[in-house]
Amino acid sequence: MQHQKEVEMPIAALVVAAGKGERAGGAVPKQFADLAGRPLLRWSLEAFAAHPAIGPICVVADPAHADLVLAAAAGIDVSVAAGGATRTASVRAGVAALAPGAPDAVLIHDAARPGLTAGVIDALLAALRDADGAAPGLPVVDALKRTQDGLIVEDVARAGLVRIQTPQAFRFAPFAAALAAAPTDAAFDDDIALARAAGLSTRVVSGDPRLMKVTYPEDFAQAGNLLAPPGAGAVVPLVGSGYDAHRFGPGDHVTLCGVKIPHTHGLVGHSDADAAWHALTDALLGAIGAGDIGDHFPPSDPRWRGAPSGVFLRHAADLVAQAGGRIVNVDVTVICERPRVKPHREAMRQATAELLGLPLARVSVKATTTEGMGFTGREEGLAAQASVSLLAPETTDVR
């Protein structure tokens, strides 16, 4: 699929979206995660598609994510190239895909920078009139120090230093030649570094704070606030907590975080009595002000007799999504003398991560005892508590 426009100079856009984005958490790589109602990638695609000077748009992505790319690009004509093991390899693949169209220039952009504006594109294209390449940059305003083993060992002068952003623009033919001349296993910090290594002239133009790179979960809130239209509500962090307890009764296992754990007793409850997921359900509901588990699944309702608690947790997670929220991490603590939770902890983490669509690193499960005190100490039952953190619009209210 190619997107052609009537322009005086054929200028292509190349959006690099092949990374895993694991540091950002979430069920999908960050470039496909939701930012203020749109996939992160779509923000850049819309900016390029709306600019009258931009012709073909190519997205470089992992072939396994082709469907996600097309979903993010719905209504925008793009071509898709298979990404490589490094960013430079992905750029090489994208340039090769664009070469048959012989564009005069190419703008290479990171999908994780959603704040692209027409003004930045205009400045980059103007810079190419007398340079081989150009990139947006912001001046360094903080004091800079060089450290070693945690100690400051040297002051670094910040005069003349800039923080380079993307897109980075190049005259296509010399940049393609520079790529061809570079070793096939070369991995440059960015495309300007590759161009400079080949002796191409490069300029810096004024960058834009909205072009921040989304890397960590908390960056979604900051980017959402930067990109929000005037008067729109900010994205804010939310927290929730939950607690649940069940007494022991007849049985040969307990269920915690969806995992059956052998034990001399079972847990008594209207559902499967999974105290861990009950506490986590309440934590999610509490974070968005949506009441508690009993409001949504009354114990008096026979439909929930013996029901798997994953139904409850999935419902709470869906309500979070409907409210525009995004789960950042969850933390569950089981309180009991027995059974021993540690041998089953990783299975419990995995089951929770899969149900909520979170990376395993964003799910914590642990256990403790009360040193023989109280009902858990007397082994009359067990309890669980949970906490969650979310990012959501400040107007979130599902009541």
Q: Write down the pLDDT at residue 20.
A: 67
Structure token digits, residue 82: 């298979």
CA atoms within 13 A on the CB side of 9: 13
Structure token digits, residue 140: 């360094």
Q: What are the DSSP E strand ranges found in 26-150?
A: 34-35, 38-39, 54-61, 79-82, 105-110, 133-139, 144-148
Task: Decide yes or no: CATH 3.40.50.300 for domain 235-393.
Answer: no
Q: Write down the pLDDT at residue 44.
A: 94
Which residues is 13 bridged to in the sheet? 57, 107
Residue reference for tokens 């564009």: 103
Q: Write down the pLDDT at residue 4.
A: 38
Measured in whole angstroms, the distance separating CA 317 from the mean position of its chain's CA atoms is 17
Burial (Cβ within 10 Å: 0-12, 13-18, ≥19) of residue 348: buried
Which residues is 341 bridged to in the sheet? none
What is the full per-residue pLDDT of the chain (399 aa) written as tens digits?
A: 333 343 355 899 999 998 765 554 555 788 988 877 788 999 999 999 999 999 999 999 999 999 999 999 999 999 999 999 899 999 999 999 999 988 999 999 999 999 999 999 999 999 999 999 999 999 998 999 999 999 999 999 998 899 999 999 999 999 999 999 999 888 899 999 999 999 999 999 999 998 999 988 888 877 877 776 655 556 788 999 999 999 999 999 999 999 999 999 999 998 999 999 999 999 999 999 999 999 999 988 888 888 999 999 999 999 998 887 888 899 999 999 999 999 999 999 999 999 998 878 889 999 999 999 999 999 999 999 999 998 887 665 544
Say which DSSP state 168 is in: E
| Cα 14 to Cα 378: distance, rounded to the nearest angstrom | 64
Measured in whole angstroms, the distance separating CA 100 from the mean position of its chain's CA atoms is 34
Q: Which helix (H) or strand (E) holds 260?
A: strand 259-262
Burial (Cβ within 10 Å: 0-12, 13-18, ≥19) of residue 372: exposed
Q: Write down the pLDDT at residue 26.
A: 55
Number of residues written out for the chain: 399
Is the Cα torsion angle 98, 103, 108, 114 positive or negative in sign? negative
Which residues is 168 bridged to in the sheet? 108
| Cα 172 to Cα 168: distance, rounded to the nearest angstrom | 12
| Cα 323 to Cα 194: distance, rounded to the nearest angstrom | 44
11-227, CATH topology level: Spore Coat Polysaccharide Biosynthesis Protein SpsA; Chain A (3.90.550)
Domain extents for the chain? 11-227, 235-393
Q: Write down the pLDDT at residue 5.
A: 40
